[in-house]
Structure 1
Amino acid sequence: MFRKKPNIKPLSPVRSSDRRKLLTSILSQFNIPTDTLPSERKDIIVPTDIQTAKFIAHSTGETGIIYVGEEGSKPLWLKLNDETLIPTVFTLWKCPFLLPIVQTWNPVIEKLRNGADLMLPGLIPPFPLTLKVGSIVAIASTERPSVPLAVGICNLDLGTITQVQGRHGKAILIIQCYGDELPFRGKVSVPLKLDLDIPKLEDKNAPTSDSENGDIEKKIAKSIENLDLPPDGNATSESQLTSVPAEKEATEGEIERTELQGMPVERVREGPTTEEVDEAFRMALLSTIHDSRTGTALEFPQATSTFISAHLRKHLPSSYSSAQLKQTSWKKAARFLKAMEKEGLVKVKERGGEVTIMGIAGLDNITVKDFRSFKTAGSRKANNDSKIPDTSHTDVPAGKLVIKEYYQIKDKGKAIAEAVSRRTSDYYSVAELRTILLEYIAKEKLVHEKNPREIMLNPVLASIITTSPKPRSLLREDLIVRFKEMSSPYYKIVREGEDERGEKLLRGTPPKIQILIAMKQGHKVTRITNLETYKVDVHGLANEMRTECASSTTVNKSVEGTSGSGQGKLEIQVQGPQSKTAVDLLERHGLKKIWIEVKDNTKKSK
């Protein structure tokens, strides 16, 4: 991806709340246990000084977001358009346990630095069984098998491949490689060997050996001897040195470490910190907003005192049920609400020193959208004996949807495929089509001598050009587009993390979900069709629409489904113009807005 230097926009710092969210997303995506991972390792994965910026990769034209750490000197993470987070080799050198590793020969690494993808014959089996199409994987050389030198995305189901001899195909699409044009500052040395095990918290309650106890006793005795005692010899007794008042006895999980004469001693932390209470009230506000948007809606405007006493307090986490706003860094409700307004969670209005809440964020707010419910003070009080179910993502499938496009080479394009020993009965991705064409161009030596981007057209290539008169040459990218247009399109829609091998290829291009606002018996209704194509549970979505819109919702056979490809499909019909709610819900189900088409037939054409 970074064969040429990317265009990186100015960096901006990441807010602490966004940093926590980024860390949670990373640990979830790579299945890293958050409870046992040491906090210092979490700070390495997402440093406190992390910054972010948008970038454009000139070699591929792709756009994304880059996260940079170590005072802006090292690129740590890349986020592509499909929201996938990909670690760079600089991150993997410190946290190699994040990705599975495959091996290749050292000369191949040099090819990857120059922008090449990794072909199947260049890999050394066996491969981790978890690797399938779309999996993120690290690549190491045989010289240093534990040290990642490149990162890419699997283009084949490597977990099912046991040998590579006699096979071909692009195995891994390279995203970043050490030594490519992704910029960094400072000196970098490649590690010789890395520990691939996931680090875990040390067990502080583990028994100490006798020898260790003896060493500690000696150190304590020495530190006591070095204490400056009063000249009258009234030294503090041993019992006074070691005893702790009963009300100050340390409880598990509330121990802080401090230093005395070079030796660690324990002291009790009296209650939660200000930062913890701040986060508790922030989470209570998110829980209040989420319940209002998914259940009984709150009415606004609303007085601050009413909102806090009737709603916010009962949504505090159960372990902070007695927390007060005066324990926060804001101290007062008005300051707290104004801070939350800056985060886009509420809208307030101040008049005469009184703050009134005018509204709250919707489900389109990314913080609210990603919120997951927890056990609150109100729910525990209402039902102490029952478990509180998590309803924040009921019936919503995990993982986003991905459209996989394939092409079958037809007609005049067959001669190109056959010339480079490719079967015309197979289905190829866009990247593989490009590879086939470029291999043919290289084999026939058709690159223009003066302009490498220009391709001379021989009779075979000229046959796929439909314009008249036919040119003598064409730009490489234009030729790839013509080759793609000459092939028959197919597609399959899969959900991230699911095995796509059982999915059937469908001919053509995927139809968009249609959201149509029309008049019916003098009233506006919203009709939603083509949901089955995108693996949406029609009846489940209808129930969600009924709850969100508080309107009558029915499921009927699609009007367009009486014949053709739409035969037997269902449509949802909702009372009122509900297109925005429908789009929001579909996005929660993993769909992208570009797959949805909204049309309002009730508006008069100009």
Structure 2
Amino acid sequence: MFAKAFRLKSNTVIKGSDRRKLRADISAAFPLLSAEDLNELIPNKEELNIVKIYAHKGDAVTLYVLHKNPIFFQLEKQLFPTVYTLWRFPTMLPAFVTWPPVLQKLTGGADLMLPGVVVHADGLPEVNQGDCCAVTLVMNRAPVAVGTAAVSSAEMRNSGMKGKGVNILHTYMDQLWAFGDKSHPPVMQVTNSPAQVEGEEYEEEEQDSSDPASVETSCRSMQELRLDEHELLKEEEPLEDKEGENTDGEDGDSRSPQEQMDELLLQCFLHALKTKVKKSELPLLTSSFQRNHMMSCCPKGKYLDIKKSSYKKLSKFLQCMQKDHSLIRVKELSKGVESIVEVDWRNPELYSFSIPEDFEPEKESEEGGGASEVPYQPPEITPLYGVTARLEPLFQDAQKKKGTPLKASEVRNIITEYVKKNELVHETNKNYVIINPTLCDCLLEKSEYQEVEKLKWDDLFSRTLIRMQACHELLFPGQRPVVKKGQMEPIDITVASRGSNKKSSVSHDPSEVILIC
């Protein structure tokens, strides 16, 4: 579920009543936890956050975060502990044991198959289908994955340990683990040794498995499994995940997607400096350099996404190009706005760079013979208003749920229709609207409950809009509209004099939506 990056929806501090409810839910779901354990997991005076996210497949998930580490996640009203919690309380879930190489498959999105399960002398843990369970590795009982049992223990034994064993939801080294402090599993010694391994895939480990010494020799310790994400993906063989995608990338490239994006990023950067940027353009906004120059140097069939690289942010990548490669010099000319102020065109790395053979240059215009220039079209920005929980009853008849973004005209039409449907227009003065219980709860302050019996139409509309979530819609030419929370911040433009009595304008746009050229 968390093999790929998820989208953050909200992050709020938990209320006292919700904290008590969470403690009760955890106690009911995991009865092995004592009262002291619950107090340690859900302390009364320490900050605990509720983070709502959308997984890459669209599942709505609620995270409970303590000390910046996710401790539980809730999916379809069922609570699951994270590996951070299981490392503190390793016995709170029944655990299935597997071999260290299997962890790489689980991290890539695969489920735990029964041929890969190691059966100890005391047998399989007793679970029913759908029960929450953990996965550990031989020679270390620190859990490395969490999921639900695909079948009961009895069905596992009756099937001859064939088929799916555990539906994996969360693993060590996945994106949910990366949301925390990225600590590694502790080493917890195992007292009993594997007695039997079913299946032919692990015949090498089966040899003389009754001897603990041979098992310890044949298995890598948890210390050897403490790899960073780069090393883990580099070792992994091509793996078809649940959606049939090859995790090792296209064309059989053995490098990780992150490595491939790093190389593409550097290629586009050098290509843009060598062929697109002119000395007269400096200083050049870093955001303009990425959008207007680097993007146009991306080979056909590929997409430049800096978030999928090891740098994650453009500023971090450019700092690396400045410090480690000495290719450019970046400077903050105004608060929060970075620009490329100098390029070393004599740098050996840039001088020796050659344009890839498979790159298709832009078509030349018939008149000028130069590169065709597409006139800049600014995005259309439309203010929107999101339905809040308080106003949801007012929009219920229009079937607008919490979070639905609406234009001001749509809000006005819905409120007007509500007033007419409920016959709330004042009989003698039609400029006023009578306040019913719903309008009272949604629009009035507590001090006004007994005093205000009617409102003017304009006051009714303005109170409604003020109590809604401010949003805005961005519509770029040729792209789908994007809705973002918050109001659109104003753009500050500063005109500064440069050499040769030239003037340049620098725009400060906090949302990085519009750039003034």
Please report the TM-score for the alignment, with normalisation by the length of structure 1.
0.30
Please report the TM-score for the alignment, with normalisation by the length of structure 2.
0.35
